[in-house]
Copies of this chain bind each other. A is one copy, B any other.
Amino acid sequence: MDDGTGSRTHPLRPDAPRRATPRTRPRGDQARARLLAAALQSFVDNGFHGTGTRDIAEAAGMSPAAVYVHYSSKEELLFALSLAGHQEALDLVAGADEPHRRPAQRLWSVVNAFCEWHAANHVNARLVQYELGSLTPEHAEMIAGVRRQISGTFRVILAEGAQAGVFRVHDLNLMVVALMSLSIDIARWYRSGGEWTPATIGRHHADIALSMVGADPETA
């Protein structure tokens, strides 16, 4: 098909078979990726309002105006990052859940995955958890939908374990937020290169999650 460089202006014939169709990786995608990476780092380091579009452009190696070739506003950049991060977290949680297994195993697996993600991807996670206030109301509502799907996964597992009598849950919704706090707050305190690896934290906190609902780890 195409070699991916896509820089030729004059292919060999006027009917130009190659140039007539989009490349698998158009050049614009690379620029967008650079912009997203630059924006993510700067939003996390300095906050959305503390980041100038010129900071982003410079870190992506473009002129200030080039940002607007790819994104119509600074908020669109934030939204793209926030949505991608939320979707990644949701996919991970949904993929970690194994509905055919017992509640304790499901809970352990989901908390383990969610915690590990927040540690390993703590830069993304920090944007995901702490920059929602700068989204437009429309975009915030779309993100809220993804967030409801994530908390719904926790809620279903807790409800099933409580009904089966293997979880002790006095207040279902309060237990959901408590379990999610354990994971989400990792984004706030985690620093890479420290005392623990993401995998260590995931296992430790998943064990703790079982304790929180009074599940016996031995019979899980």
The chain A residues found within 8 Å of chain B, CB to CB, are 45-50, 129-130, 133-134, 170-171, 173-175, 177-178, 180-182, 184-186, 188-189, 195-196, 200-201, 204-205, 207-208, 211-214
Contact = CB atoms under 8 A, between A and B. Distances in A.
Contact of A188 (B129, B174, B182, B213): B129
A41 to B, nearest CB: 13
A136 to B, nearest CB: 14
A85 to B, nearest CB: 16
User: Do most interface residues of chain A lie in helix, strand or loop, or is the interface mixed?
Assistant: helix
Nearest to A213: B211
A174 B186 contact: no
30 contacts: A45-B133, A47-B47, A47-B48, A47-B49, A47-B50, A47-B133, A48-B49, A50-B134, A130-B130, A130-B188, A170-B204, A170-B207, A171-B196, A173-B195, A174-B196, A174-B201, A174-B204, A178-B182, A178-B208, A181-B181, A181-B185, A181-B188, A182-B182, A182-B185, A184-B185, A184-B188, A208-B212, A211-B212, A211-B213, A211-B214
Contacts of A184: 185, 188
A45 B49 CA distance: 12
A171 B49 contact: no
B134 A204 contact: no
A186 B181 contact: yes
A180 B185 CA distance: 9
A212 to B, nearest CB: 5
Contact of A189 (B171, B181, B195, B196): B181
Contact of A204 (B46, B171, B195, B205): B171
A130 B184 CA distance: 13
